[in-house]
Structure 1
Amino acid sequence: MSDVSLEQAIQDLERIVVELEQGDLPLEQALEKFETAVKLSRVSQQKLQQAEQKVSQLLQQQDGETLAPFAAEADNNQASDA
Structure 2
Amino acid sequence: MENEKTFDEAMKELESIVNQLEQGDVPIEKALDQFQEGIKLSRYCKRIVEEAEKTVTTMINENGQEDILD
**TM-score of the superposed pair, with normalisation by structure 1:** 0.73
Offset at 1:63?
1.2
Matched, 1:61 2:66: no
Unaligned runs of at least 5 residues, structure 2: none
Q: Which residue of 2 aligns with 1:3?
A: 4
Alignment-mate amino acid for residue 21 of structure 1: E
Q: Which residue of 2 aligns with 1:27?
A: 28
Paired residue total: 65
User: For 1:25, what is the secondary structure of its paired residue?
Assistant: coil
Matched, 1:15 2:16: yes
Q: Which residue of 2 aligns with 1:40?
A: 41
More helix by share: 2
Alignment-mate amino acid for residue 62 of structure 2: Q
**TM-score of the superposed pair, with normalisation by structure 2:** 0.85
Name the CA distance, whole Å, in 2 between partners of 1:60 and 1:44.
Answer: 24
Percent of matched pairs sharing the same residue: 35
**Two-structure CA RMSD over aligned residues (Å):** 1.5
After TM superposition, where is structure 1 displaced by more than 3 Å over at least 4 residues in a row?
A: none
Unaligned runs of at least 5 residues, structure 1: 66-82
* Higher Rg of the two aligned structures: 1
Name the CA distance, whole Å, in 2 between partners of 1:5 and 1:59.
Answer: 25
Deviations 1:25-68 (A, max 9, x none): 11110000000000000000000000000001111111179xxx
